[in-house]
Every structure is written in C-alpha cells, then in structure tokens.
Structure 1
Amino acid sequence: MTAGIIEAAFRGRLGGFTLDAAFQAPMRGVTALFGPSGCGKTTLLRCMAGLQRLDGRLSVGGEVWQDERTFLPPHRRPIGYVFQEASLFAHRSVRGNLTYGFDRAMRGRREAPAIGFEEVVDLLGLDRLIDRSPAHLSGGERQRVSLGRALLSQPRLLLMDEPLSALDAMARQEILPYFERLHARLALPILLVSHDIAEVERLADRLVLVRAGRVEAEGWINDLLTDPALPFARARGTAAVLSAQVVGHEAGDGLLRLDLDGQTVLVAAGAQAPGAAVRLRIAASDVSLALDRPSRSTILNILRARILAIAEVGEGEAVVTLGLGAGEGQRLQARITRRSLAALALATGMDVFAQVKGASLAASPGIVDARLLDDDRRRPAT
C-alpha cells in the first residue's frame, strides 16, 4: 500500500461478463480508462464509487476503502461522480444545484473547504449562469454545472464517466477548455472513462487500456501511444503526446518556442509564460525521416532521434518508433512507406533526423510529473 497513489483491483461476474482488472493511478492529474464499449470501464468506475460490489481492493492515498474486511458504502466515500448525462435538480437554479453538494459536504465540518464556491464558479465560467434554471442551459452548460456540483462535494477523487459523449461536437469544444483548467488548477486525482482517443490525447496524463474486462496495459500516455506492441501505433491517425516547456515567443512570426528534451520546437501559438509546461501533439503521418540534417527547407522542426523499433503496417507502410535525443526519454513515431524504409536502409539503433511537418499544442497543460507515481509498472499487451 502506497500513500501517493490509488490502487484498484476488482474481479467478479456480472451476468455473462467477467471483470478481472487491476491498475494504479497517481493522486493528481487525469488517468483515462480507455477501451471499446462494453469492455468494463464503467463497471470499474462504479466499483470504485461503491455502487457495484465485487471482490477486490481499493486504496486511495494510503486509505483503504475496500478489501477483505472493509467496504465503505458509497455515501462514506469522498467521491465526486460526473455521469454521461447531467442530472440536475430541475426545481433548483444553477446556484441551488451547486450549493446542494457544498452544503451536504460541509455539514458538521469545521475545517475550511478544499475548494470553495467562488473558485468553482470562476473555474467553470458559471458566473453568468448562476441564477438560471437548468431548463434554460445548453448541454455543455449543464455538464459544467454537474461538474461544479461534484467538485463542491469536496471529493478526494473525481470520477467522470464519458462526460462528453452526450454532447455534440460544438458543445464538446465549448466544454473541453474548462476540463483543461480543472486539470491545471486542482491537485485532485481524476479518473476519466472514454472511448475517444482524441479526448484522451487532450486530457489524460496516464492511460489504462481495458479490453474484455481486463487491463491490457497501463502507463504514461506517451509510453502507451508509442508502444509498438499496442494497437495505437498501428492505427491510422496515431499521434505522440509529449511534454515540453515554453522558452519564449517570437511575436513577429507568431511562433511559440519550446524546449523538448533539450531540442527546440516552434509551434504557431500565442505567447505563454516562459517555463510553463505544455502538451505537444505530433501525428505520426506528419513526421518524415532523413539520414542527414536537411537544409533550405520549409520544415521548421528537425529533431535528432534514434530508431527504437520498426513495424510494418497496412499496405506498403511502416511505423518507425523514435527516441528523442541522446537520452531517448520521450518517443514519437513516423509513418512512412516501406519503399522509403528500404531506400534509406533504416534499422533499429540508427541515428536519424525527424522532420516534423506539423506540431500543435494540445491546448492543455503539460503532463503530470512521472515522480507522482512510485510504481510505474506496465503490463505487456496480450
């Protein structure tokens, strides 16, 4: 049992479905439970909330909520739960919905709240909605109120079960920045259930891949997205999500200058504070390889890399996994033709130059420091 992490393990049968899954998550940041519909993601969340009782164990920050001798009922677990559909009290205003969770959490408590009413209103941009009825809110606004109510219940753990799946594309884009602000400003562990890889790339620090009731792999998001043994690397549209740091802003060209493991990356973006951590998304299809450093090119970002693995995919294509710089700390991938692979005689262990044709900020803050999780074990793919 470790004080700095969440340890979850549940097993049992529900009708014809068998769950036998265990994973870990840090006590800060977003851990995504990812997998196809029906694989057991929501069941895991319900077990953590105590809404579904299966054999197993749950320890949150060193405090045991369930084991062979202990089972805390749902009302004694300090959990905020955000469902797919925002179930608000129709007879209460936005303010009334928010204060309901806050008043219940603070009843009989003398200590100051971990997160206050005004902070939540500011964090989620609810000030202009505060006196409205839920009937006069958009889908995205209703979900923000639902999230605010969950936060004001003073949870130690926030569970979100596909909170964007019931929204249309426009509403999702409206609410995503608020989820990112939540990630940046609150030292709160968040478990996010999703089957949308774009959503996971944008929000998650860690990833738990669930298949048929089992955990197939778990780890830091970039490690799993670029693992040649996992399905992400072979999927068209795959991308690496890397952590970088702001160095400066070149206002004349509208370019943000980043440090990526000791190498410079330029991204078209507005100014940000030097030293700020950012999340960088690089699609495998936007990376080409060269044996010599190119010159006189329109491509701004050329990175030193080493080939870690090569896998043939699709018709006439290959995915090359690359370690950045001498330390090979972070990884990205290049999706190239097999003809190019053969023409350059590319092989594992070779040093190459990765030309990044397109790089973009994923809009959210940088990935949580890996030191937050003591035991970073990852299961191999099955």
Structure 2
Amino acid sequence: MSLRVQITHRFDSFTLNAAFDAPAGVTALFGASGSGKTTVVNAVAGLIKPDQARISLNDQMLCDSATRLWLPPHKRRLGYVFQEARLFPHLSVQQNLRYGRWFAGLRGDSAEETRLITLLGLGPLLARRPGALSGGEKQRVAIGRALLSAPELLLMDEPLAALDEARKAEILPYLERLRDETQIPILYVSHAMAEVARLATTVVVLSDGKVLRAGPVQNILSDPGIAPTIGLREAGAVLLAQVVTHHPDGLSELSAAGGRLFLPEVTAQPGRTLRVRILAQDVILSRTRPDGLSALNILPGTVSMIHAGDGPGVLVQLQTGDAQILARITQRSAQALELSEGKPCYAIIKSVSVAQDNVGRGA
C-alpha cells in the first residue's frame, strides 16, 4: 500500500509545493506551524481543492487536476482523526464506535469490532458516554471509530496536541500497536519530535511549504542538515536495539548497532526490539576509548559528517555499525579532537540521559 502526493496551492502568505511518497507504515509530516502539514492532509482527505494536484492511493486516483478528477471526501475510503476527538456526546462509546461503520455504509462485523476494542483497550469504556472519558480515552475512541469505517488510509492531524504529558504517555503505546498490528498506512501530522521518533517509519520534513527531506525515520533524524528545522535541542538519532536482559540493579541491557546499551529499566521482555532516541546534546565524543568514567554506554564509530552552524556549536554524525548517532559539541572541541570525516571516534552516553518517553516499541 502506498500514497503518492503532488500538490501546489497558493496562499496569501506562501505557496505550498510538496511532493512525496508515503509507503506502508506511519508517514509523519513534520514541521513548524504554518509549514503546510494540515493543508497536505486536508488535500488528501478532499476537504480542500488544491490549485494543482495529483494524489493517488494504491491503484486509485483521488485527485488529478490535469484531468479535472476530484473524488469527493465520502468516496475516498479514508479515516480522519482530528486534534479533538469530536465524539457524539449523547451516544455511548460503543455507539460512537459503530457510527463509523454505519456512516461508511458497511455491515456490522463483530469480529473486527472486538479486535479493535481489544487493540485500543476500550472494553471497560463501552457503556460510558464521552463526558465521562479522559482526553486520551476520547482519542482512542475516535481512532476506533475511524478504523471501523474500514479505511484504506488513516489521517491523523496532531491527535495528541490537546493532551497533557500524562495522557500522551497513555495513548502512545496504543498508536505503536496500531502501527505494528494493522496493515493500514497512516499519514500522521505532528510538530512534536518525540512523537515522530517513536511512531514514524517514514518522515517528510516540511519548511515554508516545501519538502526539505523525506525518507526512513532513522536516516532523516540522524541528518545534521535538518537540525535547524527540528531545533538543536530536539536533534538526535533513533537506534533500533534488542532487549538482552534486565539486571537486578534496575538497568536493562540492550544490544544495538555498535555495541551494548544500558538504560533505566524498560518494560519489555528480552528479545523485544525497541526504538531508542538519543539526543545529540547527551552525547560526548572521545578520539580514544575512555577509561574510568561513570558513563556505561561507549559505542565505537567513525565520523561520517560534520555540520557547522552559525554559532559556536557543530553537529557530528558518527557511523556506528549500520546506524548513525549525532553529537552536539562546540567547534573548539571539534578542533581540539581534530575531527574530520573518516576519523575513528567513540560516542559516550550516560544511561540516565535517555528518558523513558524516548524509548518505544520497534516497528
């Protein structure tokens, strides 16, 4: 399953000119407010008519301005989850869920309904009305309602933006399961890099209405060149690591590209593959393997790219195994270490610097 998008649309303040492919999995549209993310999603949904567009989903053309083809929204077989859940307050959770299938003109499918209720953890909520639900619970119901309409593509426009941190932490594991246990491609809008790092399989970075970069999440987030768009404090790489064991002292041992990682205990069984986001500001570099440090994580690698900004800092990309790590250091440090492309180096990461919300389920 794949989505192909080519859009040109003029606004008073800027012109959206975006083209990208969204393969199976979660494709995250990332960028600052006003970069064009929601406009792209609304064009895919058929809620706006772009000046020029060619949008196809699998083998079906949704929009082609060259031939004046434009499918109305209700014929596009899409599910849309907004920032607000938009549930019917007078209906129970179960009635809200079934509304999606009814609106799509589909017969009831008890097996599929039961599967989605289990997937989203909605069983204890079915008899409640929306007024008795938390923000995270409402969003899970909205997702279930969209999925029960049997969509070929799920659109999610910043579904966690209105939630506090506790509710976000509650719903993120359900979104990871949705990514891993369904075959429905998801176009996911966000300006929160922590969400993108945990959920996305593909990232499309938008800036001023244009696609800055697009590709697999590990490649995009480890690219120093997009740090100004992401923000230096948010810059960091995503590693895939497999849980090896849990130690009695509260640390979990993981096997990652380049070596072992020790993190504060993670809630995953040995053998499970996890995503670990390591912020560039939490990485220290050394030209020789250090000795006598409290830091437990020391990964060998080779400098593959150095990106200098306007200020005193630089971002160094380190190839370790088949993955990349980013380190944010000063230009003075880079010069003192005589760093250049191809030089061997060691990345040093404190175990406690990797927060729990930067560890997620691997796709």
Q: Tell me if TM exceeds 0.5.
A: yes
Cα contact 1:292–1:353 (8 A) shared by 2: yes
Deviations 1:74-124 (A, max 9, x none): 111111100111111122111110011123446369xx79x8111221122
Aligned to 2:3: 6
Q: How many residues align?
A: 356
Cα contact 2:258–2:300 (8 A) shared by 1: no
Q: Secondary structure at the match of 1:52?
A: coil
Q: Structure 2 matches for 1:142-157, cutoff 5 A? A: 142-157=138-153
Aligned match for 1:356, one of 320, 325, 349: 349
Structure 1 CA distance for aligned equivalents of residues 192 and 230 of structure 2: 16
Aligned match for 1:61, one of 53, 58, 61: 58
Q: Does 2:336 match 1:343?
A: yes
Structure 1 CA distance for aligned equivalents of residues 201 and 126 of structure 2: 32
Aligned to 1:33: 29
Structure 2 CA distance for aligned equivalents of residues 237 and 39 of structure 1: 18
Structure 2 CA distance for aligned equivalents of residues 321 and 233 of structure 1: 16
Aligned to 2:316: 320
Q: Secondary structure at the match of 2:177?
A: helix
Cα contact 1:140–1:172 (8 A) shared by 2: yes
Aligned match for 2:327, one of 325, 334, 344: 334
Structure 1 residue runs of 5 or longer lacking an equivalent are 368-382
Structure 2 CA distance for aligned equivalents of residues 233 and 310 of structure 1: 17
What is the Cα deviation at residue 314 of structure 1? 6.3
Cα contact 1:249–1:272 (8 A) shared by 2: no
Query: Which amino acid in the other structure matches residue 175 of structure 1?
Result: I
Q: Secondary structure at the match of 1:229?
A: helix
Q: Does 2:173 match 1:177?
A: yes
Cα contact 1:78–1:157 (8 A) shared by 2: yes
Deviations 1:186-228 (A, max 9, x none): 2221111111222222222221111222212111223222222
Runs of 4+ aligned structure 1 residues displaced above 6 Å come to: none
Deviations 1:300-325 (A, max 9, x none): 11111111122334653322111113
Aligned to 1:372: none
Query: Which amino acid in the other structure matches residue 320 of structure 2?
Result: L
Aligned match for 1:120, one of 116, 120, 127: 116
Q: Structure 2 matches for 1:33-112, cutoff 5 A? A: 33-54=29-50, 55-67=52-64, 68-69=66-67, 70-105=69-104, 107=106
Aligned match for 1:190, one of 174, 186, 190: 186
Query: Which amino acid in the other structure matches residue 3 of structure 2?
Result: I
Aligned to 1:21: 18
| TM-aligned CA distance change 1:286 to 1:93, over 3 Å | same
What is the Cα deviation at residue 14 of structure 1? 4.1
Structure 2 CA distance for aligned equivalents of residues 239 and 16 of structure 1: 31
Q: Structure 2 matches for 1:201-212, cutoff 5 A? A: 201-212=197-208
Cα contact 1:134–1:142 (8 A) shared by 2: yes
Aligned to 2:130: 134
Q: Secondary structure at the match of 2:225?
A: coil
Structure 2 CA distance for aligned equivalents of residues 203 and 157 of structure 1: 16
Deviations 1:327-351 (A, max 9, x none): xx32111112333222222222101
Q: Structure 2 matches for 1:224-235, cutoff 5 A? A: 224-230=220-226, 231=228, 235=232
What is the Cα deviation at residue 282 of structure 1? 0.8
Structure 2 CA distance for aligned equivalents of residues 204 and 174 of structure 1: 18
Structure 2 residue runs of 5 or longer lacking an equivalent are none
Q: Secondary structure at the match of 1:208?
A: strand
| TM-aligned CA distance change 1:10 to 1:316, over 3 Å | closer
| TM-aligned CA distance change 1:18 to 1:312, over 3 Å | closer
What is the Cα deviation at residue 363 of structure 1? 3.7
Structure 2 CA distance for aligned equivalents of residues 261 and 120 of structure 1: 35
Query: Which amino acid in the other structure matches residue 241 of structure 1?
Result: V
| TM-aligned CA distance change 1:263 to 1:233, over 3 Å | farther
Query: Which amino acid in the other structure matches residue 325 of structure 2?
Result: L
Q: Secondary structure at the match of 2:167?
A: helix
Structure 2 CA distance for aligned equivalents of residues 352 and 65 of structure 1: 50
What is the Cα deviation at residue 147 of structure 1? 1.1
State the TM-score, normalizing by the size of structure 2.
0.90
Structure 1 CA distance for aligned equivalents of residues 340 and 258 of structure 2: 24
Give percent identity, aligned residues only.
Answer: 44
Aligned to 2:285: 289
| TM-aligned CA distance change 1:220 to 1:342, over 3 Å | same
Aligned-residue Cα RMSD (Å) equals: 2.3
| TM-aligned CA distance change 1:255 to 1:190, over 3 Å | same
Cα contact 1:204–1:221 (8 A) shared by 2: yes
Q: Secondary structure at the match of 2:19?
A: strand
Query: Which amino acid in the other structure matches residue 182 of structure 1?
Result: L
Structure 2 CA distance for aligned equivalents of residues 144 and 222 of structure 1: 27
What is the Cα deviation at residue 142 of structure 1? 1.5
Q: Does 2:260 match 1:264?
A: yes
Deviations 1:106-150 (A, max 9, x none): 6369xx79x811122112221121111112222222111111101
Cα contact 1:249–1:271 (8 A) shared by 2: no
Query: Which amino acid in the other structure matches residue 57 of structure 2?
Result: V
Q: Does 2:162 match 1:166?
A: yes
